Amino acid sequence: MAGRPGALVHMRSSGTGPDTYVLIHGIGVSSRYFLPLAAELAHTATVHNIDLPGHGSTPKPSRTLSVRDYAHAVWDALDELGVRRPILVGHSMGAQVAVEMAHMRAAAAPAIVLLGPTNYAPERGFWRQSLRLCQDTLREPWKVNAIVFSDYAFRCGLPWYFRTVPMMLSNRIEDTIATVLVVRGTRDPIVPAAWVSALAYLAPRGAMAQVGRESHVMMYRSAAAVAALCRGVASRI
């Protein structure tokens, strides 16, 4: 555990190398669905795979946290461990956290990779997002669904999940986006291609990529392809 009391972060670290990646998961889940990507990246880099406050192995804070609060918590944990200039890799709501982290400390975050960034502007509402999540569930491998729903129910818990949802939906990722690579699975119903294209256009030196035949959690089954995209970003720093 690392970070400030009341907003601790649990971190699994692996690998060594010249580059450092920080993997930031989405709402309700944990670092577990990042394990295949972490293993791929750890062949050539240092990887910090985190559980956000209130998620996974990290205790619940005493108050509801905003996206900015989550960003502060991750930076506090990285500072405590002496991590410098990491490449931030955020998935789903974790993409919003990564963008906020880069906005807070631009010089400390040389690049970010957004995997399936949520909060598509025309569908920014609880029921529409819930429908998209249900559609995505039908397209994910059963192993991914087992991880996601056990995290929702038993590790994060539905009360904390529902406290976090309004904070996620109120965050406008497009207002603070920095230099990024934005990635989606071609079968992702939560994150349409138009949203990925718009974010890449808004970002300075932004770019987009798609992972074929994958849905929202593209980095679990296609870890090697996503790792290659992350290494491409690292090579341009």
pLDDT for the residue numbered 36: 98
pLDDT for the residue numbered 4: 64
Instruction: Confirm or reject CATH 3.30.230.70 for domain 10-229, answering yes or no.
Output: no
Beta strands across the sheet bearing 180-185: 10-14, 45-51, 19-24, 87-91, 111-115, 180-185, 207-211
- Written as tens digits, the pLDDT of the chain (237 aa) is 777 666 889 999 999 999 999 999 999 999 999 999 999 999 999 999 999 999 999 999 999 999 999 999 999 999 999 999 999 999 999 999 999 999 999 999 999 999 999 999 999 999 999 999 999 999 999 999 999 999 999 999 999 999 999 999 999 999 999 889 999 999 999 999 999 999 999 998 899 999 999 999 999 999 999 999 999 999 998
Q: How far apart are CA 157 and CA 160, in angstroms?
A: 6
Strands 45-51 and 10-14, by their bridges, are: antiparallel
Q: Where are the domains of the chain?
A: 10-229
pLDDT for the residue numbered 237: 87
pLDDT for the residue numbered 220: 98
User: What are residue 64's phi and psi, to 5 degrees?
Assistant: -65, 140
